[in-house]
Each structure stands twice: as structure tokens, then as C-alpha cells.
Amino acid sequence: MILVSVGTQLPFDRLIRAVDGWAVDHGRSDVIAQVGPTRYRPVALKSFAHVAYDVFRDLQKDCRVMVCHAGMGSIITAMEFGKPIIVMPRNHKLGEHRNGHQFATLRQFGDRPGIYPADTEVELRALLERVDDLTAYPTLNTIASDAFVEQLAEIVHRPPKTSKVRQLRHFFAGKRAGEPGSIDIR
């Protein structure tokens, strides 16, 4: 199964159309696509706008290849699971994102093993033509480097110095709000 995804915030029809066109031409029925908020109706892709987070993670685990926008979530997940990932950046000049950070992401990470960058639909199509030959292996464990975690932990666990704002608020509230128990925010 090939899993296509473009994130939940914005449509990315240029990518969806290109993959759909390829799937139609090759009669592929094994392509599932998370297309985000769009009116475009794919012909060959099995598509949905969003899906619950954990369900999506299972799809990522089960797929053979990922085809995605250049979002770090997709790229990190592909590296963790060892899935080949074809990545096309959103072009802000075409209104596909607010700025060009997805191009920057590909400049930083495009040459890692298992990551197959496509700057344009033409390059995307060329990669899809050899999709069954793309390979990858897990290159990341599921946790950040020890150095980062330890330095952050040191800052997080510094003894809290209660601010004046909080001291006053707790004084007037008589007690501290929300002591243990489950929280219902509705």
C-alpha cells in the first residue's frame, strides 16, 4: 500500500493530482490518500480529508512507501519506521503554504537515506514510475538525543519560583485550583 498525506491544515492538490494521474495510468488501486481540506475528488486514490491520529499512525506503519509534503512530521515518521518517502515541498509562491520553509526542510534532510525529494510534479512522477524499487531502513529511534533531553530536563526540573501573580491568585482563590483528578474542560 502506498500512503499519500499532505497534513491537516492546507490542501496540496498539485501533489494529489500528480499521484492520482499516475495511479490512473497504471491501474493502481493500492493508494490511500489523506488529502486535507480540498474540493478535488481523486479518481483512483482512496481518499479522506482527515483521520484520527492513532489510526493514521497505523496506516503509516503498514504502508510500503509514503508520498508526502515536506512536513517534518511525515519525514520523522518515515525515518523512525524505515519507510521510503517521496517528498514534494509546498511552494508558497503558488499559495500552498505561508512561507518557503518546506524547501528549507528538503535542503536540510533531502539527502538522507530513504528520502526521495521531488521539487516538481515531473520529478514526482519520475519517482513514482520506480516506486516499487525504492528502499529505506530505520534511521531514527523514537527519542531525541540524550544531550538535548538532559539539558532540557535540567531546565524543566529547576525548583519552581512561584511568581507574584500566582501567589496573589492562589491567595484570593483560597486554594489551588484543579487539584488531582481528571480534568473536564467542557
* Contact between 65 and 85 (Cβ < 8 Å): yes
For position 27 contacting another protein by CB under 8 A, the verdict is no
24: its cell numbers:
490512473
Q: Kindly write down the DSSP assignment for every residue of 63-102, as one continuous string.
A: -SEEEEES-HHHHHHHHHHT--EEEE---GGGTSSSSSHH
Per-residue interface string for the shown chain with another protein, residues 109-138, x marking contact by CB under 8 A: ------------------------------
Nearest CB to another protein, comparing residues 47 and 74:
74
Q: How many residues bind another protein (CB under 8 A)?
A: 54
The contact mask relative to another protein for 95-114 (x = CB under 8 A, - = no) is ---xx-xx-xx-xx------
- Options 130, 155, 171, 172; binder of another protein; rule CB under 8 A: 155
Q: Cα 138–128–53 angle (5° rounding)?
A: 50
Binding residue for another protein, selected from 1, 24, 76, 126, defined by CB under 8 A: 76
- Phi first, then psi: give them for residue 14, nearest 5 degrees: -60, -40
C-alpha span between 44 and 30 (Å, rounded): 9
Which CB sits closer to another protein, 55 or 126? 55
Task: Based on the shown chain and the rule CB under 8 A, indicate whether residue 52 belongs to the binding site for another protein.
Answer: yes
Query: CA 108 to CA 111: how far, in whole Å?
Result: 8
Residues that bind another protein (CB under 8 A): 7-9, 50, 52-55, 71-74, 76-77, 79, 98-99, 101-102, 104-105, 107-108, 140, 142-145, 147-153, 155-157, 160, 162-167, 169, 176-178, 182-186
